[in-house]
Each structure stands twice: as C-alpha cells, then as structure tokens.
Amino acid sequence: MNSRTALLMIVSIFLFNESQTQTFLEQTLSYDGEIREYSIYIPANYDGSSSYPVVFNFHGGGGDISDQIAIADMSDLAEAYGFFVIYPQALPDPNDGGSNNW
C-alpha cells in the first residue's frame, strides 16, 4: 500500500456523517483501477467534534479482514484510548496463487 492509498482511506473516514454511532463500517475505494476493501472501527463516543488518531491493522499473508479482526481485535483498546482502527484487505497476488499479500 502506498501513501496515496493510505491517505484516501483516512480521508474517507471523515466523509461520514458526524453523528455516526456505528462501530464497524465496511467500505471500499477505487484506486489505480482496483477496488480496495477495508473495515473501520469507530469508537462509540466519536461525535466528529475532535480529531482521533488512526491505527492500521494489517492481516498476514493469506489472511483477510475478518481473520485479522478475530486474531487482533483492537475494539476494546480503541474504546479505551479513543482511536479509529482500519483493517485493510490486501489484493490477491497473481504470482502467489492468488493469496492475499501485501
């Protein structure tokens, strides 16, 4: 993932309604002809009136978003310390049998 993709993910967070109360949002964005999927965890007390840090939580090779959330769910930490968590999905690597790799 390059810095432009990361920036697009971060910017998309702030395009949501400021009164958003959901916690996990499933999102997509298009970049360089590819559709990228990611899940965002937003703390329940987020109201849009202040800035929150963002933590990216990447799955391992062959994994996916749901695997990573099950293995390294940061929801409790995000609630306790006030940050967003973005779980991006890697694209299948045609040189590795279609495995999801960064």
Q: Among candidates 35, 102, 28, which has minimal Cα distance to 62?
A: 102
Neighbours of 65 (CB within 10 A): 21
Q: Which helix (H) or strand (E) holds 69?
A: helix 65-72
Q: Among candidates 30, 34, 90, which has minimal Cα distance to 64?
A: 90
Tokens of 2: 């390059």
Instruction: Label residue 100 by pLDDT band (50, 70, 90).
Output: confident
The dihedrals phi and psi of 88, each to the nearest 5 degrees, come to -85, 155
38-88: pLDDT as tens digits:
999 999 989 889 999 999 999 988 889 999 999 998 999 999 999 999 999
Could you tell me the pTM of the whole model?
A: 0.71
- C-alpha to C-alpha distances, 97 to 7, 28, 47, nearest whole angstrom: 29, 23, 43
Domains of the chain, by residue range, sit at 3-100
Tokens of 61: 């090779």
Q: What is the pLDDT of residue 49?
A: 93
2-50: pLDDT as tens digits:
666 665 555 555 544 444 445 889 999 999 898 999 999 999 989 889 9
Q: What is the pLDDT of residue 28?
A: 95
Architecture of the domain defined by 3-100: 3-Layer(aba) Sandwich (3.40)
